[in-house]
Each structure stands twice: as structure tokens, then as C-alpha cells.
């Protein structure tokens, strides 16, 4: 079956630091890949997505590139802000499916 593995948190960074949250996946065929963000007490918001190999999703300064050869979709941001503090979930929808498979989430805390 499909699975998503994220780096375990929590991750604590200083403001303006570089962020990488690793995500690797297992799936047959070519899944679609997503990053969702959950702010405290809220639901999930779609942050970015990529649908085929070498696609780069980007939004709000965050980027992730769909790497088929390494089955990865790492999330990056060049300079984090305090407002980026949240839990980040990597997820996929398998080929021919419409159900999301989530990673366990990575909590990011950005300190001033």
C-alpha cells in the first residue's frame, strides 16, 4: 500500500533560518504529492502540490520538488518567520485513487 514518511519533529528554528522538512513516499505508479499546514486549533490548509516528476510546487515562500528517482518531496523555505510555526503534513494521492495518505506531521516552532 501507499505510505508517507516524514522527518520527526519537533523542529525549532530561529527566525530567518533555512527550513527543510524531509518527506519520502512509497506508492505504485505516479502519485500526486501534497504539503498541508495546520496552525494551532485549526484544520488543514493546502500549502502546495505537485502532480508529476520534476514538478515544483511553491507557495508563500515554501517549495517542494517531486523527485521520482528518490521518491521524495522535501519541503523547503529560505527564511522562516514566527508566523510559520505550525504542523506540516506531507501527503499523497495514489494513482487511480482519491484518498489521501498522510505522514505523521512535523511540528515547526520558529522563535524570534
Partner 1 sequence: GAVVSQHPSWVICKSGTSVKIECRSLDFQATTMFWYRQFPKQSLMLMATSNEGSKATYEQGVEKDKFLINHASLTLSTLTVTSAHPEDSSFYICSAREWLAGETDTQYFGPGTRLTVL
99 near partner 1, judged by CB under 8 A? yes
Helices in the chain by DSSP H: which ranges?
none
Among 28, 61, 104, 111, binds partner 1 (CB under 8 A): 104
63 near partner 1, judged by CB under 8 A? no
Task: Of 106, 35, 94, give the one whose Cα is nearest residue 64.
Answer: 35
Least distance (Å) between residue 18 CB and partner 1? 25
Quick check: 24 and 39 in contact, CB under 8 A?
no
Quick check: 66 and 92 in contact, CB under 8 A?
no
Among 42, 53, 79, 81, binds partner 1 (CB under 8 A): 42
Among 8, 15, 30, 46, binds partner 1 (CB under 8 A): 46
Amino acid at each position: 500500500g501507499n505510505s508517507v514518511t516524514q522527518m520527526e519533529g519537533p523542529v525549532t528554528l530561529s527566525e530567518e533560518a533555512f527550513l527543510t522538512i524531509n518527506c519520502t513516499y512509497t506508492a505504485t505508479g505516479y502519485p500526486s504529492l501534497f504539503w498541508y499546514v495546520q496552525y494551532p486549533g485549526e484544520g488543514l490548509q493546502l500549502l502546495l502540490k505537485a502532480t508529476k516528476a520534476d514538478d515544483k510546487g511553491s507557495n508563500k515562500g515554501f517549495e517542494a520538488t517531486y523527485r521520482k528517482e528518490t521518491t521524495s518531496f522535501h519541503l523547503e523555505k529560505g527564511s522562516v518567520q514566527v508566523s510559520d510555526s505550525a504542523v506540516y503534513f506531507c501527503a499523497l494521492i495514489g494513482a487511480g485513487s482519491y484518498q489521501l495518505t498522510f505522514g505523521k506531521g512535523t511540528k515547526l516552532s520558529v522563535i524570534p
